[in-house]
Amino acid sequence: MNRRSFLSLVSSLALASMVSGCESQSDLQIALLQGSLPIQLIASLQKQYQSLGIIDFKPQISIEEIYKILLELPQAKDNTSWDLMTLGDYWLKDAIKNNSIEPLELDKLSNWGNIPPRFQQLIIRDEEGNLSDNGKFWGAPYRWGYTMIAYRQDKFEALGWQPEDWEDLWRSNLEHRISLLNQPREIIGLILKKLGYSYNTKNINSIPQVAQEFQTLQQQVKFYDSINYLQPLIMGDTWLAVGWSTDILPIIKNHRNIKGIIPRSGTALWADVWVKPKSTPNQEEKLEKISELINFCWQETSAKQINLFTNGMSPLELNGKNNPKIPQMSPEIFAKSDFLEPLSPEELKQYQAILELRIEN
């Protein structure tokens, strides 16, 4: 754990102690992804909406940990009752199919109209968790981000060019200079975008260029890692890294020699979403408090605090951060980008077959 992660964890734990009393006395108990809501926003919530009572925010280090808690709720021995949880949009389908969450009441969410259509469509799904115009309302997106490219400006000045899109990763003078996320959807996805396809393209075996491009890309990659991939970039051991905006944006702000770009052909998108566990008691007072909290996150002032004090962005803000050092997500690039849809077992096998061609460099 680096210093930034440690301080974030300490701050989150201190916040949980500040805004919560004993668990038995809390009016709302929330499993919150660590760092996805700023302390300033939660303090404002407690001050302005005293009718919500005591909110017990319990920060969790990852979406995977929260999903594990969600799945274990029916067998939980401590009778813990969660009222709201952070979940990633990618996990919605499984959570719905497993009957782990239940729909929210749209008529109670007065600020729903503030949310752009792409984010509205993201959480309207059928009983199998598939996107559906006639489905139910399964979550409330409150923060989002994307995959991007970070690079060493000094190294590229010497090369005489700067990266602009995914195709630049194949340039010959980047051999063994790149780090990629160790994630099949991200690896194959950027290849699909280079070829002009969506991240969610079905039956990639019907596109022989995918495997060919992957084999060529191996010559460029120094290593795959989803956690410790930016330190080598800072040290100059790699010249370019593909990673998540929540990791890269703080590095750009703190290291003047590192720049970032959002590939112009589009990229992968993700969203943090509020979901209601199946075990939540359906008491009218409880449901009102849940709706009030979600509506608060969808206010313009809340959106500004999410943008200013977290490494993500509110769905109310699609143009990026108001910071000249940070690359902006243009409407054109956003329209070309994709929220990742879950793979079927057959599709997953196709991904795995291509990744087995990986060469250890």
C-alpha dist (Å) from residue 274 to 104, 161, 295, 349: 10, 42, 11, 31
Q: Per residue of the chain (361 residues), what is the pLDDT tens digit?
A: 333 443 344 344 444 444 444 444 688 999 999 999 999 999 999 888 888 888 999 999 999 999 999 999 887 766 678 999 999 999 999 999 999 999 999 999 999 999 999 999 999 999 999 999 999 999 999 999 999 999 999 999 999 999 999 999 999 999 999 999 999 999 999 999 999 999 999 999 999 999 999 999 999 999 999 999 999 999 999 999 999 999 999 999 999 999 999 999 999 999 999 999 997 677 888 899 999 999 999 999 999 999 999 999 999 987 767 777 778 899 999 999 999 998 889 999 999 999 988 754 4
**Phi, psi values for residue 242, rounded to 5°:** -100, 130
Query: Position 31: which residue type?
Result: A
What's the pLDDT score for residue 9? 40
Helix, strand, coil fractions of the chain, as percent rounded to 5: 45, 20, 35
Instruction: Give yes or no for a contact between 295 and 84, defined as CB atoms under 8 angstroms apart.
Output: no
Give alpha helix (H) positions in 180-244: 184-194, 209-217, 231-235
The closest of 214, 225, 189, 222 to 90, measured between CA atoms, is 189
What's the pLDDT score for residue 32? 96
The closest of 134, 140, 189 to 343, measured between CA atoms, is 189
Instruction: Give yes or no for a contact between 112 and 266, defined as CB atoms under 8 angstroms apart.
Output: no
Instruction: Give yes or no for a contact between 311 and 270, defined as CB atoms under 8 angstroms apart.
Output: no
Superfamily of domain 145-268+322-355: Periplasmic binding protein-like II (3.40.190.10)
- Helix, strand or coil for residue 242? strand
d(C-alpha 15, C-alpha 46), whole Å: 12
User: Is the sign of the CA dihedral 187, 190, 192, 197 positive or negative?
Assistant: positive
Please report the beta strands in 35-121, taking only residues with DSSP state E, as ranges in sequence order: 55-60, 84-88, 101-102
Question: How many of the other CB atoms lie within 10 Å of CB of 104?
Answer: 23
What's the pLDDT score for residue 4? 41
Dihedral angle over CA of 39, 44, 47, 51, nearest 10: -100
Domain 3-144+271-309 has CATH 3.40.190.10: yes
Q: Which long-range contacts (C-beta less than 8 Å, at least 24 apart) are formed by 11-14?
A: 11/39, 12/59, 13/59
What's the pLDDT score for residue 298? 96
CATH 3.40.190.10 maps onto the chain at 3-144+271-309, 145-268+322-355
d(C-alpha 272, C-alpha 90), whole Å: 9
What's the pLDDT score for residue 78? 65
d(C-alpha 314, C-alpha 297), whole Å: 9
What's the pLDDT score for residue 360? 46
Strands 140-152 and 268-277: antiparallel
